[in-house]
Amino acid sequence: MGRLFGTDGVRGVANADLTAELALGLSVAAAHVLAEAGTFEGHRPTAVVGRDPRASGEFLESAVVAGLASAGVDVLRVGVLPTPAVAYLTGALGADLGVMLSASHNPMPDNGIKFFARGGHKLADELEDRIEALYTSHGAGEPWDRPTGGGVGRVRNYDEGFDNYVAHLIGVLPNRLDGLKVVLDEANGAAARVSPEAFARAGAEVVTIAADPDGLNINDGCGSTHLSLVRDAVLEHGADLGIAHDGDADRCLAVDAEGNEVDGDQILAVLALGLREQGHLRKNTVVATVMSNLGFKLAMEREGIELVQTAVGDRYVLEEMKREGFALGGEQSGHVIILDHATTGDGTLTGLMLAARITATGRGLRDLASVMDRLPQVLVNVPDVDKSRVDSSAELAAAVADAERELGATGRVLLRPSGTEPLVRVMVEAPDTEQARSVAGRLADAVKSALG
């Protein structure tokens, strides 16, 4: 698998890359690293463990729980809940560690392990590196220091987690959703119970689809990566909007009453205006990545809201938000972070806040989302090239300069080496799709010529 930890925990094909032995060993290593860092000092440590409904999550959860308990950590097992719920409960219950078993929007054969530090925040890179190093050294035969007798961890189910999390979601809503009809596509994932319950308690009329997980059907033709399902349901039921989550419900995408897609950039724009109106958009700033649509940047400029852009990845958005004290950030993919109420992207919270904006203003989602015009965006992946030379090739720099002169202020070019594959991503935005495709095609050819 190479380096175990990626940008979002450890992920791979369950029982092939991600085995029970690996899950157990990483959990023991995490407990030891956090103990050495002083996290457990002066008290008996506690961990919150949750999972999405993938079949493999059942044995992987058992392995994680066994590893933590064998290292002297008491475990609160919360069962099937969204990733942001595990993060919230880790903080709310004062736990020292949170563990979520999920591969998010990946297909069912995959699974993953994500660790949260005290407070429900993602572990720092440095701690992940130490966990991986410790796990590797013990895999080479170095024995663990294990407690015995009353020193071993105790395990119990924490069934109150569901109600605690839903109550939290309802408690932070600025207004109720009475009179709103919402279709919820739960991706047959972790939010299949939570999201419909939260929307219903908030007063909405709820229609649920893909909300019957069987362990095998998560993300299968549904959820935030397959919006046709929720679009059709919105039109069929005459709903005011549709919300689509991914498998672990840290994402939210939407469709309006006419079935038009509302992506993460548009959701950010709507929520930014709402938070500013309520006096909660700290420093009058929203955080997004360099992949955000140029239309979003232009809309924020027009509305007088500052935009800070980061590298691609919700962890970089979150780092910038925490460093500068910003309240709102996110990605085009639907990872939206509302830092006053969540420590990570929370798809259910995002959907509730979007719906609350509709009822508060009396305006439809299409009208609200029209605050920004989405410029046509074309993305081309160029494989089998030397991605390390993207920034040093004079030939490529000249091609980019030519493209930027052609587009002027009405478009944008971005060349980005993939973080995981031997390819370069070419992204072009332009006033019309044909021009974007033409420029992207020429740049892709230039990448092949310069870096091939």
Domain boundary among the residues 313, 334, 369 is at 369
Q: What pLDDT shows up at residue 140?
A: 61
Query: Is position 185 annotated in a ligand binding site?
Result: no
Instruction: Flag whether 195 is marked binding.
Output: no
Structural domain count of the chain: 3
Question: Is the C-alpha dihedral spanning 134, 140, 142, 148 positive or negative?
Answer: positive
Longest pairwise C-alpha distance within the chain: 73
Examine the residue annotation and report whether 104 is marked as an active-site residue of this protein.
Answer: yes
Domain that holds residue 425: 377-451
CATH value at residue 406: 3.30.310.50
This prediction has a pTM of: 0.92
pLDDT score for 422? 77
Q: 384 and 248, same structural domain?
A: no
Q: How many residues does the chain have?
A: 452
Element (H, E) at 51: strand 46-51
Tokens 């956090």 found at: 34
pLDDT of amino acid 300: 97
Same domain assignment for residues 414 and 302: no
Res 419: pLDDT: 67
Same domain, 168 and 115: no
For the domain that residue 10 is a member of, what is the CATH number? 3.40.120.10
Please tell me whether residues 392 and 359 are part of one structural domain.
no
The pLDDT assigned to 53 comes to 98
Cα–Cα distance between 352 and 356 in angstroms, integer? 6
248 annotated binding-site participant:
yes
pLDDT in tens, 207-251: 999 999 999 999 999 999 999 999 999 999 999 999 999 999 999
| Residue 197, CA distances (Å) to 51, 154, 163 in order | 19, 31, 9
- Give residue 48's pLDDT: 98
Give strand pairing partners of 113. 10, 101
- 100, 116 contact by CB (below 8 A): yes
The pLDDT value recorded for residue 400 is 93
| pLDDT tens column, 282-322 | 999 999 999 899 999 999 999 999 999 998 888 899 999 99
Q: What is the pLDDT of residue 161?
A: 98
Q: Residue 340, annotated ligand binder?
A: no
The pLDDT of residue 297: 93
Active-site residue, selected from the candidate residues 27, 56, 104, 292: 104
Intervals of the chain under pLDDT 50 = 1
CA distance linking residue 74 with residue 152, whole number of Å: 8
